[in-house]
Amino acid sequence: MAKHTMGKKSAFKIQRRLGVELPGLGKAGALERRPYGPGMHGMKRKKLSDFTIRLMEKQKVRFHYGIREGQLVNLVKKAKKDTSRAWVDTMVILLESRIDNVIFRLNWAPSIPAARQMVSHGHIMVNGKKLTVGSATVKPGDVITITDKGAKSGNYLQAKAKPRLSAIPAYLATEKDGEKEKAKVMAEPLPEDIPFPFEKRLVIEYYWKVR
């Protein structure tokens, strides 16, 4: 299984290069002190090509959700098979429905990589069964709980002490389960639930050749 490694420095650089805070990286404040790109030429204004602008918009999605390019292309192909809505909306819904993202959106983990680690360590249960694959998707009606060991993990305690997100999205609901929390998927995510500024048209144009 491929590893997703991203230190504090690289997470900051990625956000500064793209000019946007990406909550999934778990590193807030990248743009507060240095609202420009990394490197000695970061403060210089550059004229970006149309391709670069589209690429940067696509990269927001890839880095926020912590997936490889091949995984994203496969999601695009899958989304394009659904003709019920714009394929880019389907792509966002599929990404938002991943269990690693859901754990992060519940503020049970400080970042999506941390949430993926919690899942792979067997700390998360869906409908009473352990789930260990971060890319697995949940659907409306699914009940998500955290194990006793997971509730004592550093990732969970860090997220509870200092939540990365100010609120959970409307498609999720939480309630107390004794001393812990449990959550339920109330509805399918909406394309608008993506937690950062996102220009869908640019991603559509970037992947127009993918079939």
Query: What distance lies between CA 133 and its chain's CA centroid?
Result: 15
Enclosing domain of residue 44: 8-94+195-206
How many helices and strands (H and E) does the chain possess?
A: 9, 5
Instruction: Specify the 3-state DSSP secondary structure of 8.
Output: helix
Token couple for 136: 């697995």
Q: Mark whether 126 and 174 lie in a shared domain.
A: yes
Residue 175 lies in a domain: yes
CATH number of the domain at 164, please. Answer: 3.10.290.10
Residue 115 lies in a domain: yes
Q: Please, which residues bridge with residue 125 across strands?
A: 130, 145
Token couple for 181: 């929390």
CATH number of the domain at 199, please. Answer: 1.10.1050.10
Q: What is the pLDDT of residues 117-138, one digit of tens each?
A: 999 999 999 999 999 999 999 9
Number of domains forming the structure of the chain: 2
Residue 1 lies in a domain: no
Q: Mark whether 60 and 119 lie in a shared domain.
A: no
HSE, side-chain direction, 13 A CA sphere, residue 98: 26
Residue 2 lies in a domain: no
Q: Mark whether 82 and 118 lie in a shared domain.
A: no
Q: Which pTM value belongs to this model?
A: 0.88
Separation CA 11–CA 191 (nearest Å): 24
Burial class of residue 25 (count of CB atoms within 10 Å of its CB; 0-12, 13-18, 19+): buried
Separation CA 145–CA 124 (nearest Å): 6
Q: Mark whether 141 and 202 lie in a shared domain.
A: no
Residue 89 lies in a domain: yes
Residue 211 lies in a domain: no
pLDDT at residue 22 tops 50? yes
Are 73 and 66 spatial neighbours (Cβ–Cβ below 8 Å)?
no
Q: What is the pLDDT of residues 90-101, one digit of tens each?
A: 999 999 999 999
Q: What is the pLDDT of residues 147-184, one digit of tens each?
A: 999 999 999 999 999 999 999 999 999 998 877 889 99
Q: Mark whether 29 and 46 lie in a shared domain.
A: yes
pLDDT tier at 44, thresholds 50, 70, 90: low
Q: Mark whether 19 and 76 lie in a shared domain.
A: yes
Q: Mark whether 77 and 135 lie in a shared domain.
A: no
Separation CA 27–CA 75 (nearest Å): 26
Q: Mark whether 48 and 86 lie in a shared domain.
A: yes
